[in-house]
A = this chain, B = another copy of it.
Amino acid sequence: MAAPIPEVVILRLPLYYRILTLLQEETEIVSSQELGAQLQITPAQIRKDLSYFGKFGIQGKGYNVNQLLGELRHILGLDRQWSVVLVGVGRLGRAILDYSVLEPQGFHITAAFDTDSRQIGKKVGQLAVQDIATLSDTVKNQGINIGIVAVPPSEAPEVINRLVSCGIKAILNYAPVAPAIPSDVRVYNIDPVVALQTLTCHLKSLGTP
């Protein structure tokens, strides 16, 4: 029961969750076979992944979509609201603030910060941009759990340090840096350049047009 869940499994759970949300409208029961076909994942892998957390299926039939959604919501910690702080309100930061999918998924951006003093006080959406110096107070007072970093590369290590010393344990990092962080803090990096470079590595080995 207290088995350590492989990280790769956790990376797949949100995919299951998303597909099930879509399937919810269409069907009551789904088999690992059908799920796998949608996600390009083997049925055995899906069954094994879920088995780390319990027995959610009905033998001979499959999984009850609604029930499994509930289980995944619980496993992923989606059965509550999460308060998120955004640092960096440039082009990217604004796009994130406007991204209308976060709110319905339970991610509430509570405060926005910037390191550029010219931005401070400006309104972006509902929020007034705050001075980064007030980050710590806001995080503690508002019980914020997650930080999103959308500042230029040069600012990023400093910003990430600040988030860590506020006690934030989860960071979604859009800056192209590989910060050193304590092992109890999770960082998920999103970097389009890195993504494109892995793609070109594969393209290269194709016949060059």
Contacts and interface: CB of A to CB of B under 8 A. Distances in A.
Interface in A97-121: 98-99, 101-102, 105, 107
Interface string A165-205: 00001111000101010001010101011111111111110
Looking at chain A, what size class is its interface with the partner chain?
35 or more
B17 A197 contact: yes
A192 B76 contact: no
Contacts of A132: none
Contact of A143 (B19, B193, B209): B209
Nearest to A209: B143
Given A75-B201, A180-B40, A199-B170, A105 B13 contact: no
Interface string A13-24: 111011100000
Main secondary structure of the interface of A (DSSP, over half): helix
Interface string A73-113: 00111100010100000011011101101100101000000
A146 interface: yes
A44 interface: no
A1 interface: no
A91 B93 CA distance: 11
Contacts of A3: none
Contacts of A92: 95, 99
A190 B173 CA distance: 12
A128 interface: no
Among A91, A171, A186, A202, find the residue whose CB has the most chain B CB atoms closer than 10 A.
A202
Given A96-B192, A193-B14, A199 B186 contact: yes
Contacts of A195: 172, 188, 190
B77 A145 contact: no
A192 B171 CA distance: 11
A75 B204 CA distance: 8
Contacts of A197: 13-14, 17, 76, 78, 105
A119 to B, nearest CB: 17
